[in-house]
Amino acid sequence: GENVEQHPSTLSVQEGDSAVIKCTYSDSASNYFPWYKQELGKRPQLIIDIRSNVGEKKDQRIAVTLNKTAKHFSLHITETQPEDSAVYFCAGRSFQKLVFGTGTRLLVSP
């Protein structure tokens, strides 16, 4: 089955800086990789996802890159803002279920 590792576990940046979170996965057959943002006490919300037929996807300040050969994918947030502070989870897909990384707590200081 799929195994997803995520790092760092915590990330502190200054407002306006970039933040990068990295994940690796084990199942070479995986082809769908979503990223979720979870604020304290709230539901995980999908912020971006990537499918294996592309290497990069961008949505405003958020981008995700995928390297299928190395089996890793990364979330990039540019021009960070205090409201980006949250826990971010990457996930891989194993059959129908999502396998989540352990999360990255991002703190953006004004």
Partner 1 sequence: NAGVMQNPRHLVRRRGQEARLRCSPMKGHSHVYWYRQLPEEGLKFMVYLQKENIIDESGMPKERFSAEFPKEGPSILRIQQVVRGDSAAYFCASSPSGGALETQYFGPGTRLLVL
The binding site for partner 1 (CB under 8 A) comprises: 31-32, 34, 36, 42-46, 49, 51, 89, 93, 95-103
Exposure string for 72-99, b = 16+ CB within 10 A, e = fewer: bbbbbbeebeeebbbbbbbbbbbeeebb
Question: Closer to partner 1 at the Cβ: 2 or 72?
Answer: 2
Backbone angles phi, psi at 31, to 5 degrees: -140, 10
Question: Closer to partner 1 at the Cβ: 25 or 89?
Answer: 89
- Measured from the CB of residue 27, what is the shortest distance to partner 1 in angstroms? 12
Coil/strand/helix, residue 105: strand
- Measured from the CB of residue 85, what is the shortest distance to partner 1 in angstroms? 16
Backbone angles phi, psi at 36, to 5 degrees: -120, 145
Question: Closer to partner 1 at the Cβ: 19 or 87?
Answer: 87
- Measured from the CB of residue 110, what is the shortest distance to partner 1 in angstroms? 25
Given a contact cutoff of 8 angstroms between Cβ atoms, the answer to whether 90 and 21 are in contact is yes
- Measured from the CB of residue 18, what is the shortest distance to partner 1 in angstroms? 24
Question: Closer to partner 1 at the Cβ: 30 or 80?
Answer: 30
